[in-house]
Amino acid sequence: MSLDEVKRRRTFAIVSHPDAGKTTLTEKLLLFGGAIHVAGAVKSNKIKKTATSDFMEIERQRGISVSTSVMEFEHNGYKVNILDTPGHQDFAEDTYRTLTAVDSVIIVIDHAKGVETQTRKLMEVCRMRKTPVIVFVNKLDRPGNDPFELLDEIEKELKIKVRPLSWPISQGPTFKGVYNLFEQKLFLFSGDDKQTVSDDIIEIKDIHSPELDKYTKPYTQKFLEEIELVNEVYPEFDINTYLSGEVAPVFFGSALNNFGVKELLDCFVQIAPYPRPTVTDVRTISPFEDKMTGFVFKIFANMDPNHRNRIAFLKICSGKFERNKPYLHVGLNKTFRFSSPNAFLADKKSIVEFAYPGDIVGLPDSGNFKIGDTLTEGEILNFKGIPSFSPELFRYVENADPLKFKQLAKGIDQLTDEGVAQLFTQKSNGRKIIGTVGALQFDVIQYRLEHEYGAKCRYENFSLHKACWMETTNKSQLDDFRIRKYNNLALDKQGREVFLADSPYSLQMAIEKFPDIKFHFTSEF
């Protein structure tokens, strides 16, 4: 197994609060990587393109990303894999799970709005996993906060030290450019064509040369003072503090205008970590091992609505994945061969012959995979840390078209396999309950059932506090609990018993009365 192939891989996720410009940034990175030639923001009168990474119909209608897209390209000899995650908090669970499949993260912050709630939550997940983070401050072509104030806010709100690696000259309508502290070059903002990569970026290596003043008047003096202050206040950039998750390098730019994006990408491929070891229930797996291992972190039910196909996204953790080679599906204890594994550029797929650690491969799936499943060359192990979270909103789901009963059952089954929502079946009456983290999920499910499966559903409100998974060694106490709480019990998709607590009080009472039963809020305990 070639060490070089592992070391040139960079697998990362882009995360942010909705509307900070995450999808635009993803697209501009693809533009610099040569993966696309014109950005989706180009609007001609005849055709209206949407962003390359938002390819589901409902995303186009609402202008938000609701599923994690995977894209890959080559840049300066590195192989870059980007996972573009949903920013909307109703899809947080999908994003948390995606963070299990990446080695580093870029957080996008809107410089007028600063740090927002969703960004804080995502940072907590990164901190828990010690994932290295780079911050990209976006929308400098619009008026916003003072850069020093913004850096203080990032340190305080995200609880991480920062080190600017680029610095803006003015902002908003008078935005002049960005000085790249990492390479010590100045890039000036000019050019009217904002959608393709422009060559007319003027580079100035020595910021003290009189040439600078020609372009940056009347902000030259202020800019020179700020650069001096940055170098005094913030310690030298040390790659090890970044890799250990203690310091976040910060870049400034405007993704829509393509500005500051190339510097971010050039620096990112140099400093970001290559694939890291992964923890399993048996041992820690090094990416440099010869045998292939990988886990499924996402399932996408309808990449192509014409063919009803599901795709399981497999993150390669070690070894070399090969097309048509037999691999063991640990959960089913069955061997599978994959004749058409896919690599992605959003919805454009191409067949891959080989894939290395850090790569994401799409496996066409007829229903054999669920999130968290492991593929190996025969070793029995399971990857840790890919939980289902207890949903916060619940509704009964009813069939609205009796003739389409089969389509509805199949649609709900496949959509809940994706992990966007969870399905519970009540033990007492067999009614189906859908639980989600956010309200928007219900609309997405209803929309996709109708447009992809030809089935109609309607919802009935169901007030519930929490769904809890149960664990105990005291069988008689569990039997007693089952008799008393029969109407509050359901089964999840894996057939595990779940207690549906209708209020915080009833959960508290259950915990007190049945001390030997542990109630868990995630499925992985």
Question: What angle do the packed helices 117-129 and 147-158 form, to 10 degrees?
Answer: 60
Cα–Cα distance for residue pair 416/435, rounded to 1 Å: 10
Q: What is the DSSP letter of 495?
A: S
Longest Cα–Cα distance of the chain, Å, equals 85
Cα 320 to Cα 29, 79, 289, 444: the distances in Å are 26, 15, 9, 36
**422 has a pLDDT exceeding 80:** yes
What would the mean pLDDT of 204-211 be, rounded to a whole number?
A: 69
Q: Which tokens sit at 467? A: 């769904």
Cα 350 to chain centroid, rounded: 22
Pairing between β-strand 278-279 and β-strand 247-252 as defined by DSSP bridges: unpaired
| pLDDT tens column, 340-352 | 887 765 445 678 8
Model pLDDT, residue 346: 45
CB atoms within 10 A of CB 163: 21
Pairing between β-strand 321-322 and β-strand 203-204 as defined by DSSP bridges: unpaired
Compute and round to an integer the Cα radius of gyration of the chain: 25
> Which amino acid is located at 477 in the chain?
Q
| pLDDT tens column, 308-318 | 567 788 889 99
**Nearest residue to 142 via CA among 180, 168, 108:** 168
- DSSP letters, 270-301, are HHS--PPPEEBSS-EEPTT-SS-EEEEEEEES
Q: What is the DSSP letter of 354?
A: E
SS3 assignment, position 446:
helix
Model pLDDT, residue 64: 42
Is the Cβ–Cβ distance between 417 and 409 less than 8 Å?
A: no
Pairing between β-strand 161-164 and β-strand 166-169 as defined by DSSP bridges: unpaired
Residue with tokens 């491969």: 361
What would the mean pLDDT of 342-371 be, rounded to a whole number?
A: 77
Q: Which tokens sit at 128? A: 């828990």
Pairing between β-strand 247-252 and β-strand 203-204 as defined by DSSP bridges: unpaired
Number of helical H runs and strand E runs in the chain? 14, 31
What would the mean pLDDT of 173-181 be, rounded to a whole number?
A: 78
Model pLDDT, residue 395: 92
The per-residue pLDDT of the chain, averaged, comes to 79
> Which amino acid is located at 476 in the chain?
S
Cα–Cα distance for residue pair 361/357, rounded to 1 Å: 10
Least confident of 35-44, 181-190, 201-210, 340-349: 35-44
What would the mean pLDDT of 406-433 be, rounded to a whole number?
A: 85
Which has more confidence, 133 or 112? 133
Reported pTM? 0.74
Cα–Cα distance for residue pair 10/80, rounded to 1 Å: 5
Range 3-271: architecture per CATH: 3-Layer(aba) Sandwich (3.40)
**Nearest residue to 359 via CA among 15, 7, 1, 10:** 10
Cα 99 to chain centroid, rounded: 6
**197 has a pLDDT exceeding 70:** no
| pLDDT tens column, 280-320 | 888 888 899 999 999 988 877 654 555 556 778 888 999 89
**163 has a pLDDT exceeding 60:** yes
Range 393-520: architecture per CATH: 2-Layer Sandwich (3.30)
Q: Is 130 exposed, middle or buried (0-12, 13-18, 19+ CB in 10 A)?
A: exposed
Alpha-carbon torsion 459, 461, 466, 469, what sign?
A: negative
Cα–Cα distance for residue pair 391/385, rounded to 1 Å: 17
| pLDDT tens column, 223-248 | 888 888 888 888 888 899 999 889 99
| pLDDT tens column, 62-97 | 444 434 467 778 888 888 888 876 544 545 566 777
Q: Where in the chain is the domain with CATH 3.30.70.3280?
A: 393-520
**Nearest residue to 501 via CA among 523, 483, 515, 521:** 521
What would the mean pLDDT of 450-470 be, rounded to a whole number?
A: 87
Cα–Cα distance for residue pair 222/510, rounded to 1 Å: 64
Cα–Cα distance for residue pair 10/145, rounded to 1 Å: 31
Which CATH fold would you assign to the domain 278-376? Rossmann fold (3.40.50)
Q: Where in the chain is the domain with CATH 3.40.50.300?
A: 3-271, 278-376
Instruction: Kindly report whether the peptide bond that precedes residue 357 is cis, defined as omega within 30 degrees of 0.
Output: no
The strand pairing partners of 136, in sequence order, are 108, 251
Model pLDDT, residue 63: 45
